[in-house]
Amino acid sequence: MKTKGYARLIALMMAFLMLSLAFSVTATASLSKDASITLNIRDTQTGVPVPDMSFRLFFVATAYETADGIDFKLVPPYGEAGVDLKNLQDSSLPIHLAYFAASRSLEFAEKSTDKNGVVVFDKLTPGLYLIVPSQAAEDRCSVSPFVVSVPEYDRESKQWIYDVSASPKINGDINGEGKDTYISVVKKWETDGEIPESITVVLLRDFREYAKIQLNEDNDWYYRWDGLSKNYVWNVVESIVPDGYTVSYETSSNTVTIINRDTEEGTTEPGTGPGIEPGTEPGEGTTRPSDGGEDDDGKDDLADTGQLNWPVPVLATAGLLLFSIGWAVLNLGKKEG
């Protein structure tokens, strides 16, 4: 009798385990459908296509389907960038990520526009990506790094679109009136804990490192660069985000405020992105970088970081079946007793 009792107990435990696993996989299933992105590159002022302009693509986060929409999970080493993915429309987010990727010499894919100013990336995996113009492209015209995501939600059809298009702003002439300009930076802490003695801020010229300065209590966490040529695009980023903090930026006129928030106070932990619900705009698009090689199934030869959707129905069915068997065994034991 004890042997039958142990068998019934084990059967019930296995049933509950499989059922729990099935529901947990369903809650965070990664998206495995092929996607594509098309970049249409035209001069914003003239409308003329920009050919032979190369872009670098960095895979930043994996997209996961949830009951509420889509979440993103940063892939290594982007979890160390100290970013919070709550607001994908933040214009400073791609600049910070671009500096992080360049400073770490992270892997990227590169493709160039054709004579019509079009470049297409296909057979892609859904996720969040950073697109940065190459050095040669930046020398030709002004274009900012930007992040894009896939799928994209179509409000009219109420469907997720896996083939998306993006048209970043391209300016052939960025010369402004006057000889020079300035940019100032202010550091703000939002935490009740101890803060570092100093942080390093990098001045970017055309999104590449130009100068550095340390901010601390001695300079009241403030600095200003004067005499900057208007022939360039100027930005500032925090070099290394302190452990336990995330970074965000607020820009007003020529002043940039860098805000470090405690990750334990109302921010998303690195590695987890925002839920994108139907009816919201998740971004401009996305793509997954490729080195040009393909594996046997014709897809880009890059390592997959997420799970597939096929285990979801299988595990759910198996869990329900085992639960039913366990319940039947338990009731049969009661009748025999």
Are 246 and 238 spatial neighbours (Cβ–Cβ below 8 Å)?
no
Q: Which of 161, 169, 88, 165 is nearest to 130 (CA)?
A: 88
Task: Indicate if 184 and 133 belong to the same structural domain.
Answer: no
Are 38 and 184 found together in one domain?
Answer: no
- For each successive 10 residues of the chain (337 residues), what is the average pLDDT? 56 58 50 82 86 91 82 93 86 94 93 93 86 78 84 83 86 61 96 93 93 97 95 92 94 93 55 40 36 40 38 53 57 56
Quick one: 81 and 152 in the same domain? yes
- Are 293 and 162 members of one domain? yes
Are residues 294 and 273 located together in one domain of the fold? yes
Q: Provide the CATH number for the domain around residue 222.
A: 2.60.40.1140
Q: Residue with structure tokens 């057979």?
A: 123
Contacts of 102 (CB under 8 A, 6+ apart): 208, 209
Domain CATH number, residue 95: 2.60.40.10
Same-domain pairing of 132 and 217: no
Per-residue pLDDT at 101: 96
Beta strands in 162-229 (DSSP E): 163-166, 180-190, 198-205, 208-216, 222-229
Whether residues 151 and 231 fall in one domain: no
Residue 153: give the domain boundaries: 30-174+269-306
Query: What phi, psi does 316 have (nearest 5°)?
Result: -65, -45
Number of domains the chain is built from: 3
200 shares a domain with 170 = no
pTM over 0.85: no
Domain boundary at 262, 295, 325, which? 262
**Same domain flag for 49 and 159:** yes
How far separated are the first and last CA of the chain, in Å rounded?
A: 9
Q: Are residues 165 and 253 located together in one domain of the fold?
A: no
Residue with tokens 């039913």: 324
Strand partners, 63: 72
Residues 273 and 125 both lie in one domain: yes
Q: Say if residue 149 is in the same domain as residue 38.
A: yes
**CA neighbor of 233 nearest in space, from 145, 105, 134, 168:** 145
pLDDT at position 337 is: 54
Assess contact for 247 and 85: CB atoms under 8 A. no
- Beta-bridged to residue 164, according to DSSP, are 37
